[in-house]
Amino acid sequence: MTSVAEAGRALRSGRTSSRKLTEASLAAAAALDGDLSAFVAVDSDGALAAADAADEAIAAGRDLGPLMGVPVGIKDIVDVAGLPTRCGSPAYPAAPAAADAALVRRLRHSGAVIVGKTTTHELACGVYSPPVSNPWDLDRIPGGSSGGSGAAVAAGIVPMAIGSDTGGSIRIPASLCATVGLKATYGRVSRAGVAALAWSLDHLGPLTATVACAAAALEVLAGPDPLDPSAASVPVPAYSRSLDRGVDGLRIGVLSGAPLEPMQPDVAEAFAAASDLLGGQGAATVGVEVPELQHGLAAEFGIVAPEAAAYHRELLHSRPEQIDPGIRTLLVAGLMLEPEHYFKALQARRAVADALRRTFAHNRLDALITPTLPATAAAKDADDFCFGDVVEPVTLAYVRTTGPFNLSGLPALSVPAGFDRDGLPIGLQIAARPFDEETALRVGACFESAAGVASRRPPRRAPDEYVLDPA
């Protein structure tokens, strides 16, 4: 599938129609999903009806915005009216949702075409997302928990899909699948109608083909919502207008130390090259360390376990045997934790958030960069990474670099930054001040343009001719 911007130009010029784009998306899902398992439900009838409505709007001269007529996937923890929300778990009922989640309503009002529900790691609690395969290597994981969304975008089935992010679940699959993934500031996007994992850490956002797609998506998704008290009443800028401003004059922190080490050598080399590239584009790069981030994992899991257990308490009591044993263990542990442990985790979270705020202020930073992850995509049967003499569980390795930005609530963007020696994607993470997604996207767009890696395609991908007729 082409990018949102390319699709929009083709739609408005008459080179294609939303029906053609949607039929192409449905055909790509049918052709590829046997290998990828990116979708748990495809709504062909609903998608084609929405596509026809978008075509009618275009013909009548009504422009609903950048997502009008564009196929979109929705992670299966988000309610879509008429489709079940199973959260990747047999413990959830198969009854269809009665109403759209707030963000789905926003998408529909913008003319976007919902093609189906993407696969999530069970209860949005994991980094593997079985049975989804990574389009770059079918024996590798796509990341999680928004693995279906990452695989669907990377494979070109849709140019955009919705993910959720509690400890990295948008940015992890973005990094492993070579897509763009944006976790906006906590409260920037309404969570009404979305199943929770940990309510104080959960964020929603897009996985997209390009940075421009992510900017266009956030313009639609962001804003206050009376149904979600945590949704902030902060003005939403036109993010797309800042994408071509470059980074000349910006101060960008380059993180070292905790929580980056250890990391794979190819990732370290790609990160160093990314820092040099941004410096070459005119940014002032400033080396920074934030020692408090070494406590990030303890704080993350100290919050996730009790909050997830509280949310899924009824499920644990009524259908525990239907929950994956590993996730069930986490939930039971959350129920058994003494409240003081949760409060200590909240204190650690505050220490992490305050340290990041001080780092931005003391160094006068506009943005902060890290490798999105310290390693590339793990094999499906791998439990651990070996970093030289250090053995680390895959889950902990991935979450230690992404989790701090859930704890702090800061916006964080992952963009493709290169490939390791096996041809597996590497991501660059760009964080910014609260509600300054505009700067993160601006840096990401500059890097994307200068790095020139975004055009590389995975082996399992829909051919471009599925999407647009040549003109």
CA distance 267 to 428: 9
Q: Judge contact between 64 and 110, C-beta under 8 A.
A: yes
Core vs surface per residue 277-300: b (16+ CB within 10 A) or e? bbeebebbbeebebebbebbbebb
DSSP string computed for 200-266: TT-EEEEEESSHHHHHHHHHHHBS--TT-TTS-------GGGGTTS-STT-EEEEEESTTT-S--HH
Catalogue all structural domains in the chain, each as residue range(s) with its CATH number: 4-296+338-466 (3.90.1300.10)
For residue 44, indicate whether it is catalytic. Answer: no
Q: Specify the DSSP element, H or E, that contains 394.
A: helix 394-402
pLDDT in tens, the chain (471 residues): 578 988 999 999 999 999 999 999 999 999 999 999 999 999 999 999 999 999 999 999 999 999 999 999 999 999 999 999 999 999 998 899 999 999 999 999 999 999 999 999 999 999 999 999 999 999 999 999 999 999 999 999 999 999 999 999 999 999 999 999 999 999 999 999 999 999 999 999 999 999 999 999 999 999 999 999 999 999 999 999 999 999 999 999 999 998 999 999 999 999 999 999 999 999 999 999 999 999 999 999 999 999 999 999 999 999 999 999 999 999 999 999 999 999 999 999 999 999 999 999 999 999 999 999 999 999 999 999 999 999 999 999 999 999 999 999 999 999 999 999 999 999 999 999 999 999 999 999 999 999 999 889 999 999 765 544 433
For residue 455, indicate whether it is catalytic. Answer: no
For residue 75, indicate whether it is catalytic. Answer: yes
Catalytic residue (one of 169, 175, 190, 414):
169
Catalytic residue (one of 75, 129, 175, 414):
75
Catalytic residue (one of 37, 133, 145, 190):
145
